[in-house]
Amino acid sequence: MFIKFLWWWIAATFRSREDHQKQIQLEEACKSGLAPAEFDEDGKEINPHIPRFISSPPCCGAMTHVAKECMERARKVDKSIAADEKKETFETAERDYERKRDRWEGFDVSTYARVVKVYEARDHARMKYLKEQKLKKLEKGDQNDEGAAIDESEDDLRLDEAKVDEMKQMDFAKVEKRVRTTGGGSRGTVRNLRIREDTAKYLLNLDVNSAHYDPKTRSMREDPLPESDPNEKFYLGDNHYRNSGQALEVKELNNNAREAFDKGQDVHMLAGPSQVELLHKNFKVMKEKSMSQWKKTIIEKYNYVALKDPLPRELLLGQSERQILYDRAGRIIKGEEALFPRSKDEEDI
């Protein structure tokens, strides 16, 4: 089958110089109104002010439709080579009820490989960026601790690889983490389970009257060893963790959401946590601005001298051997005597 019309790029390439110059002169004459406008296949006038490459869409070699009716995106050269148009034909006689309503019928599995390549490229770029950041930290670090820093960076990269690899990660994925045990720096699987090297919380104190352990919820509210040194204990009770760390931030968010709801705002911590967090963040920013403005106005109004002229170091760090003793009423018992004001009268001279 022969080609009926030359493609637009071939026609423009093989045009002689004289023909090309005549075409340019004709286009200029049409734009200025000296020559009549050209007509398309439907008999409509072609606007001479529209560029030729916009009026005729390029990169369409399909034989089932005209080039101007092409609605597909142009493919790259030598990339994803396929037929111009693919028409699915199904035998309606052999199709049952479920097959007629199958939404995945005719789906080409090979097309999903492009999506996989995109995510693989993203993960590869992310790992490359993380390695570059680790190398920069190692270069800025101390040269004496270079070996320890390299080991820690490798551990962090392993953790990042475990997080990135979402296809292989299951419910009880293996995430390695250092734990405080008698062996020192051992590794174990961390999820919702206790590590084998750790002593169970209900075995820390076998006294019957010690902290209560609830086996159903696996919780121990109180400290099982309250007499021991807190710096040497690994477990301080569940109430300790509820009043430390990010638990205090969650409590602050709950209180802020409750106060905002009482004042008429439609917010809820469980229904819209992002909205509550954004509201709390804006509240903190506005509070800091108002406090700084209030402090500035107070200083300007009362002219706080301590900020302008600080006390000399001789007065702040000065020492003396004078000792003064006072009683409970504030009277001087021993030391310097109280100085009474002297007047200009004769009896005080």
CA distance 147 to 156: 15
pLDDT tens-digit series, residues 22-80: 888 888 888 887 888 777 777 788 777 766 655 554 556 566 666 677 777 766 777 76
Q: Which of 66, 73, 18 is nearest to 41 (CA)?
A: 66
304 vs 293 pLDDT, higher one: 293
CB 190 within 8 A of CB 180: no
Distances 57 to 140, 176, 215, 345 between C-alpha atoms, Å? 55, 57, 73, 113
Residue pointed to by tokens 């700084």: 292
- Would you state the structure tokens that stand for residue 120, as one six-digit string? 């693989």
Q: Is 214 strand, coil or helix? A: strand
CA distance 269 to 254: 6
pLDDT tens-digit series, residues 86-97: 666 666 667 788
pLDDT of residue 44: 80
Q: What φ, ψ does residue 186 adopt, rounded to 5°?
A: -80, 170
Q: How many residues are given for the chain?
A: 349
pLDDT tens-digit series, residues 95-104: 788 888 888 8
pLDDT of residue 142: 59
Q: What is the C-alpha radius of gyration for the chain, rounded to an integer number of angstroms?
A: 41
For 222-278, the DSSP string reads: S-S-TTS-TTT-S---HHHHHTSTTHHHHHHHHHHHHHHHHTT----TTT-HHHHHH
Distances 13 to 9, 10, 186 between C-alpha atoms, Å? 6, 5, 72
pLDDT tens-digit series, residues 146-184: 555 555 656 665 555 555 454 444 444 444 444 444 444
Q: What φ, ψ does residue 39 adopt, rounded to 5°?
A: -120, 145
What torsion, rounded to 10 degrees, do the Cα atoms 125, 126, 127, 132 define? 90
- Tell me the average pLDDT of the chain: 75
pLDDT of residue 173: 42
For 283-333, the DSSP string reads: HHHHHHHHHHHHHHHHHHHHT-HHHHSPPPHHHHS-------EE-TTS-EE
120 has a pLDDT exceeding 90 = yes
pLDDT tens-digit series, residues 68-80: 777 777 667 777 6
- Would you state the structure tokens that stand for residue 103, as one six-digit string? 């939404």
Helix (H) or strand (E) run with residue 187 in it: strand 186-189
Helix (H) or strand (E) run with residue 64 in it: none
What pTM, to 2 d.p., does this model score?
0.31
Share of the chain above pLDDT 90, in %: 11
pLDDT tens-digit series, residues 189-229: 444 456 677 788 888 888 888 889 988 888 888 888 888 88
